[in-house]
Amino acid sequence: MATFGLIEYSDASPEVRAVYDDIMATRKTDWVNNFWKALAHDPAALKRAWETAKQVMGAGALDPLTKEMIYVAVSMSNQCDYCVASHIAGARSKGMTDEQLKELIAVVGFANANNRIVAGYQVEIDERFKP
Amino acid sequence: MATFGLIEYSDASPEVRAVYDDIMATRKTDWVNNFWKALAHDPAALKRAWETAKQVMGAGALDPLTKEMIYVAVSMSNQCDYCVASHIAGARSKGMTDEQLKELIAVVGFANANNRIVAGYQVEIDERFKP
Amino acid sequence: MATFGLIEYSDASPEVRAVYDDIMATRKTDWVNNFWKALAHDPAALKRAWETAKQVMGAGALDPLTKEMIYVAVSMSNQCDYCVASHIAGARSKGMTDEQLKELIAVVGFANANNRIVAGYQVEIDERFKP
Amino acid sequence: MATFGLIEYSDASPEVRAVYDDIMATRKTDWVNNFWKALAHDPAALKRAWETAKQVMGAGALDPLTKEMIYVAVSMSNQCDYCVASHIAGARSKGMTDEQLKELIAVVGFANANNRIVAGYQVEIDERFKP
Amino acid sequence: MATFGLIEYSDASPEVRAVYDDIMATRKTDWVNNFWKALAHDPAALKRAWETAKQVMGAGALDPLTKEMIYVAVSMSNQCDYCVASHIAGARSKGMTDEQLKELIAVVGFANANNRIVAGYQVEIDERFKP
Amino acid sequence: MATFGLIEYSDASPEVRAVYDDIMATRKTDWVNNFWKALAHDPAALKRAWETAKQVMGAGALDPLTKEMIYVAVSMSNQCDYCVASHIAGARSKGMTDEQLKELIAVVGFANANNRIVAGYQVEIDERFKP
């Protein structure tokens, strides 16, 4: 299910195929997941998201696995089931172990609890923490 | 400002002081930030949060810096200003560089965008991603 | 599935039927969607929500289509699958084109990214923007 | 206040200045707001956000004012104070009247209420609404 | 600060004054808080919100204090500082003790943690829990 | 479905079984719901969550039913379907009536609306509400 359906490779325009090809080449895989096939209905958005993915999720001061784990943490906080499932897969493909994922989940739970405890106690920012 | 005010060390019960002492010893510092001073009005919650912090945020399959960065990512997604400020400070004290923080922010922005794009396109989970 | 089940027209009290009748007359349709059938278990809430819908979602300084699109944008940000699906349908019935929906989704993604980037950079409100 | 401070035009690199210049030219104004000055610490992110802004927020199937209002609606739902303040200003500069803003706020409140009422009643998606 | 400013009693229309009078009479107090003074710029919304408040927040199957505490819990989860501050005050005026508030905050923290842990472990609803 | 699958009693380690036994004894029931069976893959997290549950959700200044209802309210606001379903069941087992649940849902809806209306009107905290 998807708002406009999914665009398979065989039905894709050359513009969309070029992105699919780059996704598969970059990920060294022979398939494209539903997110991109849904987004392909807006080729400019597809291209923008994929270019951003390459810039933002690739190696830099943070390694790609850490970035995938941050992505999972955000998706858990936002209750995006698709994003949790797909980026757990993405993180595993980059080497995330089960132990790492369990620790990640524990941190996300802890942060979410404390974010609201701070709201309830109306805690003011310490002078030393102000930017 | 805080719902019940902040409990300073000099006014704290022995039970609360024990937690403050452990926080300072663990962090190798001589002060305690407002979160703990606000939470100290509920000593059982203070103790529980601190024990959880030691279990969850310490070294394990993930290193403490990665955990702090995940905490920052969650706090950004939840718009908790206090938590963002205090855990950026925490991550920096564990070695986070400016470049790492900028990349973290970029990943959090990207994930938040895509979490909602998935909702708009009503993307179904790929069979391969189902647990 | 619904917490208390769905109340069909044939099983509805006169009070609930009056709301269903008004929904169908206002929308020029012969059916009522699940949201109202679930909410009908609380007839006062049903009436209140429907009266508010007529006041808030109807033509005013903003046209009904713009309001439906705002509703979709909020529902995407809140990850409410039911609301996204039903209000995309509502917006389409008011004339939303596929191109408009794709642009809407892109704006919602962009806003969600920037909302968190602002949190990460801890950006202070410009003097000119203060109310 | 901002995590890395704000980069003023006079201190900006040519790369950042080019973006600032384009922002001011596009908006027909002589200043740049804090969001961009904070983000300028990550020039690639600055450029990416600004290019996306031009693609996503400009005229298309939806007019720029509608897009600004959608942005405000999302920012309200996410409790991003900066974003609410800055994009109310942006929408006003594009012609949003006070009456329109009040109606927008009413729709956002209504949608947020119903998003959670749906969760409480666990309403299943109507067959007709499934994509 | 407020988007359109605050409407004081002396400047209010008869329609708005009638609501203010009812708020003060119902609450047995001689002042009106900023929420209503801001919302008064949209008199229909003001009246609707106040009528809903009387229907929803008053005594019923749940007592008014429990309802105020639920309101605080939601506001903490949504990071609405104004709402947390004003409804803690409201709950206290209805008899909430400090001990009750501390327990409330602890429950909200725990629920927020578990909501995300559920997302991370992708837990499926037990058959017995399905409505 | 669950990220690591569900650990049934017959496959559980003594450590996990001890928690399951305590859950069943405390709840006077002969089964354990999926949340715990999923979390059992991280025995330390399982034990921590269960110990916290006993501390936080049991009788105190607030009764267990009120706490369950607060939990449901938070889960609705966070769109956690599993948590809504399981804690509605939990609240019912503690005596929540249908009328109470309907009023709870109405309060959660109202609070969620107002939380965002406050954001849109940018309402400043009244002096009297500041802690």
Q: How far is B44 from chain F (nearest CA, A)?
A: 9
Cβ–Cβ under 8 Å, residues F121 and E38: yes
Are A85 and A28 in the same domain?
Answer: no
d(C-alpha B34, C-alpha A112), whole Å? 18
The per-residue pLDDT for range A106-128, each reduced to its tens digit, is 999 999 999 999 999 999 999 99
B101 touches chain D (CB under 8 A): yes
F131 touches chain B (CB under 8 A): yes
Are A69 and A131 in the same domain?
Answer: yes
Q: Which of E57, E76, E91 is the last residue in one of the domains?
A: E57
A4 touches chain D (CB under 8 A): yes
Task: Dig out the tokens for F22 from the structure.
Answer: 């305590």
Are E41 and E72 in the same domain?
Answer: no
Are D20 and D4 in the same domain?
Answer: yes
Q: DSSP states of E1-69 as a string?
A: --TT----GGG--HHHHHHHHHHHHHHT-S---HHHHHHTTSHHHHHHHHHHHHHHHSSSSS-HHHHHH
Are B68 and B131 in the same domain?
Answer: yes
Are D39 and D65 in the same domain?
Answer: no
d(C-alpha B72, C-alpha B86), whole Å? 9
Is pLDDT at E12 greater than 80 in this prediction? yes
Query: Which residue of D75, D85, D109 is in closest CB contact with F113?
Result: D109
Residue type, C55: Q
pLDDT in the model for residue A70: 98
Which residues are within 8 A (CB) of E18 and not within 5 positions of it... i.e. 6 or more apart?
A: none
D123 DSSP assignment: P
Residue A118: alpha-carbon gap to chain centroid: 27
A48 touches chain D (CB under 8 A): yes
d(C-alpha C118, C-alpha B81), whole Å? 10
ipTM (interface predicted TM): 0.97
Q: Burial of B9 by CB count in 10 Å (0-12 exposed, 13-18 middle, 19+ buried)?
A: middle
Task: Dig out the tokens for D19 from the structure.
Answer: 């973006």
* Span A79-107, average pLDDT: 98
Are F71 and F85 in the same domain?
Answer: yes
* Span E51-61, average pLDDT: 98
D131 touches chain A (CB under 8 A): yes
E4 touches chain F (CB under 8 A): yes
Residue F17: alpha-carbon gap to chain centroid: 22
Are F22 and F69 in the same domain?
Answer: no
Q: Please list the rounded mean pLDDT of every run of 10 residues in chain B (131 residues).
A: 94 98 97 98 98 98 98 98 98 98 98 98 97 88
The total number of structural domains that make up chain D: 2
CATH number at residue A11: 1.20.1290.10
pLDDT in the model for residue C1: 72
Q: pLDDT-based confidence at F1, cuts 50/70/90?
A: confident
Cβ–Cβ under 8 Å, residues C6 and C37: yes
d(C-alpha A62, C-alpha A72), whole Å? 15
Which residues are within 8 A (CB) of F21 and not within 5 positions of it... i.e. 6 or more apart?
A: none
The per-residue pLDDT for range F86-105, each reduced to its tens digit, is 999 999 999 999 999 999 99
Q: How far is C80 from chain F (nearest CA, A)?
A: 7
Give CA separation, B14 vs B6, B10, B17, in Å.
Answer: 16, 10, 5
pLDDT in the model for residue E14: 98
**Domain around D85:** 61-131
A59 DSSP assignment: S
Q: Is the dihedral of CA A78, E107, B51, B93 positive or negative?
A: positive
Query: Which residue of B1, B4, B48 is in closest CB contact with F55?
Result: B48
pLDDT in the model for residue F5: 97
pLDDT in the model for residue D1: 72
In percent, the amount of chain C with pLDDT more than 70 equals: 100
Cβ–Cβ under 8 Å, residues E56 and F98: no
Which residues of F fall within a CB distance of 8 Å from D106? Answer: 117
E124 touches chain B (CB under 8 A): no
d(C-alpha C76, C-alpha F78), whole Å? 13
The per-residue pLDDT for range C15-64, each reduced to its tens digit, is 999 999 999 999 999 999 999 999 999 999 999 999 999 999 999 999 99
Are D102 and D45 in the same domain?
Answer: no
Is pLDDT at D45 greater than 80 in this prediction? yes
- Tally Cβ neighbours within 10 Å of residue F82: 23
The average confidence (pLDDT) of chain D is 97
Are D19 and D78 in the same domain?
Answer: no
Rg from Cα positions in chain C: 18
Q: Which of B57, B75, B101 is the last residue in one of the domains?
A: B57
The average confidence (pLDDT) of chain A is 97
CB contact under 8 A, D98 and E4: yes
Query: Which residue of C5, C48, C131 is in closest CB contact with E2?
Result: C131
Are A129 and A68 in the same domain?
Answer: yes
pLDDT in the model for residue B58: 96
Is pLDDT at E1 greater than 90 in this prediction? no
d(C-alpha E77, C-alpha E86), whole Å? 15
Q: In chain E, whose CA is at the least distance from the CA of C52?
A: E48
Q: DSSP states of C16-77 as a string?
A: HHHHHHHHHHHHT-S---HHHHHHTTSHHHHHHHHHHHHHHHSSSSS-HHHHHHHHHHHHHH
Q: Which chains touch E (3 or more CB pairs under 8 A)?
A: A, B, C, D, F
Is pLDDT at A1 greater than 90 in this prediction? no
Which candidate in A1, A42, A62 is best for mutational testing of the C interface (most C CBs within 10 A)? A42
The per-residue pLDDT for range E67-107, each reduced to its tens digit, is 999 999 999 999 999 999 999 999 999 999 999 999 999 99
Are A29 and A67 in the same domain?
Answer: no
Give CA separation, A41 vs A8, A45, C59, F9, in Å.
Answer: 11, 9, 31, 47
The average confidence (pLDDT) of chain E is 97
Q: How far is B97 from chain F (nearest CA, A)?
A: 30
